[in-house]
A and B are shown apart, each in its own frame.
Chain A
Amino acid sequence: MKLEELSALDLGRKIAGRTLSSREVVAYFLERIARFNSSITAFSQVCADLALEKADQIDRQIASGMAMGPLAGVPIAIKDILCTREMRTTCGSRMLENFVAPYDATSVEKMERAGLVTLGKTNMDEFAMGASTETSIFGATHNPWSLERTAGGSSGGSAAALAAGMTPLSIGTDTGGSIRQPAAFCGVCGLKPTYGRVSRYGLVAFASSLDQIGPLAHRVEDLAACLETIAGHDSRDSTSINAPVPQYTRLINRSISNMRIGVVREQIEHAGLAPEIRSAVNRAMEFLTGLGATIVDIGLPHSRYSIATYYVIAPCEASSNLARYDGAHYGLRADTKSLHGESPLEDMYCHSRSQGFGEEVKRRIMLGTFALSSGYYDAYYRKAQQVRRLIFDDYHRAFEQADVLLGPVTPTTAFRLGERLQDPVQMYLGDLFTVGANLAGIPALAIPAGNDQAGLPLSIQLQGPPLAEEKLLSVAYQLEQALFFQPRTANLS
């Protein structure tokens, strides 16, 4: 049986029904990781022994008749930016290459409690800064559909691990599109929940006001099941939302015939949008109309400023969040004893940070430090916050007219590795359609929409008002059920 073609929930059902053991499932995926990871680099660490041990434990619990959740015994891959007690948390950085957190992130705890079995940590752009996984110290993740292309980023490892059939489920984080863009490039589903829906405790911060943890999977129902597992209020995160978690898996099958689907003019008409992606959005629109949904034309006039706004706010927060990596307490400390400089302390800071961080991280720290400096704060940070408010207001108005917004995730399909590495602005512009949801704090979801002529995955995006994850999941579920979205993994040999 090709287990990589089953949904996570199906695997869970088989494990619960004891037609498959968790050990068998885990061993199956570990074997695929062993075979394919060297060509894909989806995982930065694999913890085979721990996973098998956990799988045995789950199998014993099931055999003893203990009541378990729907994902018990199912393997999962976790982005290497969530703190885990039993594995290193490197963030793809030299700085944290050997860092082991003394605690588990809240979301990791919740997965553990749900019986999910962690296979390992997935590759990512250094500190989640990037859109191609090329800034990782472990090397770039390759797109399973076309190995010379990027898997996207920053959660490229999480998306590629799914597309390569190395895991049935994975966890990513999304600060400006870092779940949705790699999901789109790899032909899998990815959900960035509402800001505050999933606790950030234990998520190594890139940009605190934008970061959010979310699931990636082949199937919409798996997104629902995983979100149900990790969502919820956490007293350890002051920005976490105190609202009950709906049973998403039960709600996704609801009719969407009364729904108003907004199509964002600025996105669908964007000159940089690849025609095949535009067609995919149009096909989805037609299909939803056929189901009885109404299509509404929506304007998000300030969305043209979203990239500029994002690339001020995110680096500002990053410059402060990453100040803690100074070599004093943990992480990389450069050996500066032989320098005998005027200030040994400054030498230590300077060299540790120079050696520990890569180019892109340094670029963003410098951008943010500059933008927060006295004399520039008003022109950059404050202005960006004002525009952020206008972008939020645009969305707020849009959601008075539409229940869900439909559009593209990315302007293009997966680009070639190395193609944009020397041109950061080109790389940043790829976030055009995704950063808005982070700036506004709203949920957004990417689902596969077939392949282009070159065989590369196409994807469409759904965005909804705060806490409307269930609406996004319902619409996505309909699209997945009835149209061209056959989830599958790339053929690897």
Chain B
Amino acid sequence: MTVDAYRQVIGLEVHVQLSTQTKLFCGCSTIFGQPPNTQVCPVCLGLPGSLPVLNQHATQLAIKTGLALNCQIAATTKWDRKNYFYPDLPKGYQISQFDQPICYEGFLDFADPNDEKALRRVRIIRAHLEEDAGKSMHDEAAGRADSRIDLNRTGTPLLEIVSYPDMHSPDEAKGYLTELKLLLTYLGVSDCNMQEGSLRVDANVNLHIESAGRTIATPIVEVKNMNSFRAVERALVYEVDRQFAEWKKTGREKGQAPKQTRGWDDVTGVTLPQREKEESSDYRYFPDPDLVPLKIEKSQIESASNALPQLPSQLRAWLQTEHGLKPYDADVIVSQGSHLVEYFQTAVAAGAPAKRISSWIQQDVLRALKERGIEISALPVPATKLASLVNAIESGEIDTSRAKEVFYFWMENPSSDLVAARSALGISSVDRGEIEEVCRQLLDENPQVVAQVLEGNAKGLGSLIGLAKKKNPNADPKLVRELCQQMIESRRTSS
């Protein structure tokens, strides 16, 4: 039996809630988690006679995002009504952008999951603004269909970012999403909280199967209800297998079946067909007569462009070329967000070597943040203090292991300086002669180690370092190793 080769074709639609103070077309707060139906007014309730007024801040955030995604920004855009009935859509239509999105034709580069040195590029079709719907809560468990509607979310600005079907594996989809989320976080346009629904992902997926000398496309399936990047990855892996099996069974190709919507069930790990909101998806789009077309001036785009922060891709490149970090290390720092990059930058500016700072950040700083569940801004050891510690190591004033003790001492005693920490921890500089004496003793007490080293097995030296520390906590491991090696060598020549 021959195995048919196939290519996965994946496109993603990402809905991002923009972090405006107020909703897209009214003055209601967008704050999450308030009691149901308390963040509402006649406009977002769609009461008779109410009219929408555009929140300009939302368009500014959309332009900012579009520019960061290398998009064209429309000189003129307009608002369209997408008509459908649903109880969480109080007007019976959603105000969206149909044929003139505010941003179009861009791309996003991210590290190729198969080759960290290479970049993958996913093209963006469009990014358009629209208002969010409310939330329906169905309680069918009680035996009677009792549904409740919360309209607090109704009218919250969303930017829908639609990619080309340029991804060819769940890994790539995850890579794209991870980079997109990081970019949005750097831009400060959204809090990207998937649990609270401020970032939502739908995937369009099908297969291009090479079979009997031709390429067959399977019907496109839209997968919804994925509440984490992990869920997206799992759903795609599942859906690819399912579609292949389905094709094997039915031979059905794209065009022979209507586009299907399936929902991901995270518990059972399968996608299931979803009932469509309406039998046909004829949304009867037409321009919203309550709103005027939006003109975007060149100057507005220019000033938005000038105000863009350093983006993740630029920062990674900068860390590699300016500071000699490896791609992996640069990525770890950048992935933690702009504040950690600033921390790094401040420490390096204070004279500490970049690579050392990088490794301190990746080990001790990140661990401390994780353990305490805090943000870098709340770290008791500011960047300049870390730099002074690293500089002390560099000058041989203190060894790395004792420096770590200082770091953790500072975590507990934020106001203490290096001198105070050293005295509290009993760290003092030691005389070389003292350490020579410790080493001599150790070699005498551990003849088997000496013998091993003489036979060419240097492993045993490590145990000597530990022992030396016991005898004198201020013993610099590097020096101990160096001295022990010298002494053993001199014993070889003398014997």
Query: Is B75 interfacial (CB 8 A cutoff)?
Result: no
By beta carbon, the residue of chain A nearest B292 is A238
Query: Is B87 interfacial (CB 8 A cutoff)?
Result: yes
Contact with B along A315-356 (1 / 0, CB 8 A): 011011011101011100000000000001100010000000
A324–B145 CB distance below 8 A: no
- The residues of A that contact B456 with a CB separation of less than 8 Å are none
- Which among A204, A349, A374, A377 is the interface contact of B49 at CB below 8 angstroms? A204
Contact with B along A187-231 (1 / 0, CB 8 A): 000000000000011111101110000000000000000000000
Given the known inter-chain contacts A101-B47, A235-B53, A324-B46, please indicate yes or no for A372 contacting B292, CB distance below 8 A: no
B255 to chain A, nearest CB (A): 18
B48–A91 CB distance below 8 A: yes
Query: Is B54 interfacial (CB 8 A cutoff)?
Result: yes
A102–B42 CB distance below 8 A: yes
B290–A238 CB distance below 8 A: yes
Query: Is B374 interfacial (CB 8 A cutoff)?
Result: no
A324–B51 CB distance below 8 A: no
- What CA separation (Å) do A280 and B32 show in the bound complex? 65
Most buried by B among A203, A207, A323, A344: A323
Given the known inter-chain contacts A316-B286, A326-B85, please indicate yes or no for A236 contacting B53, CB distance below 8 A: yes
By beta carbon, the residue of chain B nearest A240 is B51
B149–A328 CB distance below 8 A: yes
Query: Is A99 interfacial (CB 8 A cutoff)?
Result: yes
A73-97 at interface with B (beta carbon < 8 Å): 82-83, 89, 91, 96
A239–B292 CB distance below 8 A: yes
- The residues of B that contact A477 with a CB separation of less than 8 Å are none
A200–B289 CB distance below 8 A: no
- What CA separation (Å) do A373 and B282 show in the bound complex? 7
Partner-binding segment picked from B89-97, B209-217, B318-326, B426-434: B89-97
- The residues of A that contact B145 with a CB separation of less than 8 Å are 344
B290–A208 CB distance below 8 A: yes
Given the known inter-chain contacts A201-B49, A328-B87, please indicate yes or no for A372 contacting B289, CB distance below 8 A: no
A203–B49 CB distance below 8 A: yes
- What CA separation (Å) do A400 and B93 show in the bound complex? 40
- The residues of A that contact B53 with a CB separation of less than 8 Å are 235-238
- Which among B48, B149, B285, B286 is the interface contact of A324 at CB below 8 angstroms? B48
Query: Is A381 interfacial (CB 8 A cutoff)?
Result: yes
B48–A99 CB distance below 8 A: yes
A320–B46 CB distance below 8 A: no
- Which among A323, A326, A374 is the interface contact of B282 at CB below 8 angstroms? A374
- A interface size (C-beta, 8 A): 44
- The residues of B that contact A99 with a CB separation of less than 8 Å are 48
- Which among B42, B50, B83 is the interface contact of A323 at CB below 8 angstroms? B83
- The residues of B that contact A282 with a CB separation of less than 8 Å are none
- What CA separation (Å) do A349 and B85 show in the bound complex? 9
Query: Is B284 interfacial (CB 8 A cutoff)?
Result: yes
Query: Is A8 interfacial (CB 8 A cutoff)?
Result: no
Query: Is B111 interfacial (CB 8 A cutoff)?
Result: no
- The residues of A that contact B90 with a CB separation of less than 8 Å are 324, 328-329
By beta carbon, the residue of chain A nearest B47 is A101
By beta carbon, the residue of chain A nearest B144 is A337
Given the known inter-chain contacts A102-B42, A320-B284, A374-B282, please indicate yes or no for A345 contacting B51, CB distance below 8 A: no
- The residues of B that contact A289 with a CB separation of less than 8 Å are none
By beta carbon, the residue of chain B nearest A104 is B49
- What CA separation (Å) do A371 and B492 show in the bound complex? 100
Query: Is A105 interfacial (CB 8 A cutoff)?
Result: yes
By beta carbon, the residue of chain B nearest A346 is B85
A434-466 at interface with B (beta carbon < 8 Å): none
- What CA separation (Å) do A320 and B96 show in the bound complex? 14
- The residues of B that contact A101 with a CB separation of less than 8 Å are 42, 47-49
B57 to chain A, nearest CB (A): 15
A89–B48 CB distance below 8 A: yes
B49–A238 CB distance below 8 A: no
- The residues of B that contact A239 with a CB separation of less than 8 Å are 289-292
By beta carbon, the residue of chain B nearest A372 is B284
B148-169 at interface with A (beta carbon < 8 Å): 149
A83–B48 CB distance below 8 A: yes
By beta carbon, the residue of chain A nearest B54 is A238
A selection of 28 A-B contacts at a CB cut-off of 8 Å is A83-B49, A99-B48, A101-B42, A101-B47, A201-B49, A201-B50, A203-B49, A204-B49, A205-B49, A205-B290, A236-B53, A238-B54, A238-B290, A317-B289, A319-B284, A320-B81, A320-B83, A320-B93, A323-B92, A324-B90, A324-B92, A326-B85, A328-B87, A330-B47, A372-B284, A372-B285, A374-B282, A377-B284
By a beta-carbon cutoff of 8 Å, the part of chain A in contact with chain B is 82-83, 89, 91, 96, 99, 101-103, 105, 200-205, 207-209, 235-239, 316-317, 319-320, 322-324, 326, 328-330, 344-345, 349, 369, 372-374, 377, 381
The 6 closest A-B pairs by CB, nearest first: A323-B92, A209-B289, A208-B289, A372-B284, A204-B48, A202-B49
Given contacts A101-B42, A381-B286, 5 further A-B contacts (CB under 8 A): A89-B49, A208-B290, A239-B289, A324-B90, A324-B92
By a beta-carbon cutoff of 8 Å, the part of chain B in contact with chain A is 42, 45-54, 81, 83, 85, 87, 90-93, 145, 149, 282, 284-286, 289-292
